[in-house]
Amino acid sequence: MNSRWSGMSISGDKGFTLIEILLAMFITSVILAVVMGAFYVGVTAWRAGTAESDGRQRADAVMDQVYMALRSAYIPAPAGARAPGQPRPPRQAAGRHGFIFENDGDDPASARDSISWVKIGNALVGEDCAFAGVPHRMVLSMMDGEHGEGLYVRAWRVDGQTDDFDPEKDVEAVLLSSAVVGFNCRMLDPAQATTQSVSDEIPWIDRWDDTNSVPTAVLVSIAIAPPKRDGEALILERYVEIPLAEAAQQRRR
């Protein structure tokens, strides 16, 4: 018995032509290119954001240490009180306990300033430092040291050194951060600090000649290397008030 379909054919069915296949491949390629491009842009943006976040965290960590170290600045009181009519007590030798500043550039992104002061405490030297609890001098500066270019710190105790002690030769510079590419400082002008009102612009200066005292405040700027080679450096700025500055200046009057 013959099927009723036996006399029929499906001659209407046909395959894809070469042009249709090439067109489909082209459309698929365009879609893949768009998807991959969007994925690449997303990954690049994520990496840049992560790098910037890491840079900011490193800058914050460095700035916190510098902030605490400056806040711990120390100048000893003169021995004995000065009664009216009596001569002033002998002043400390220049630079022994005071603030020392070396200006090397004004652009925060590339400045290589250096500051030095005496402090007490473990900021910048660590809890294991043998002289953290006694007055010690700090030097914070940009330099190209043993571990490459970056922000370096040197520290040594003020008292108890031998006569031939030379901090330039005897104190090792410790790399604080290789991510720092610029270090800039400005000090509050002591001649105008007491005459300023809240609305006045802060009178910052980029020199400090009185190495027997410390500034009332320091404006510290740290620049972190950009995540991209052609990008801009990340600038972190902080205003640091030094608590003992006014008392120390009053002792010298």
48 near 228, Cβ under 8 Å? yes
Distance CA 91, CA 118 (A): 16
Report which of residues 43 and 107 the model is more confident about.
Answer: 107
Distance CA 4, CA 1 (A): 9
Q: Considering the entire predicted model, what is its pTM? A: 0.70
Cα 59 from chain centroid (whole Å): 4
Report which of residues 77 and 129 the model is more confident about.
Answer: 129
- Span 18-38, pLDDT tens digits: 888 888 888 888 898 888 888
146 pLDDT above the threshold of 70: yes
65 pLDDT above the threshold of 60: yes
Nearest 5°: the CA angle 34, 40, 43 is 140
- Span 238-249, pLDDT tens digits: 999 998 755 544
Report which of residues 245 and 216 the model is more confident about.
Answer: 216
State the pLDDT confidence band at 190, using cuts at 50, 70 and 90: confident
> What single-letter DSSP state applies at residue 78?
P
Mean pLDDT of 50-56: 65
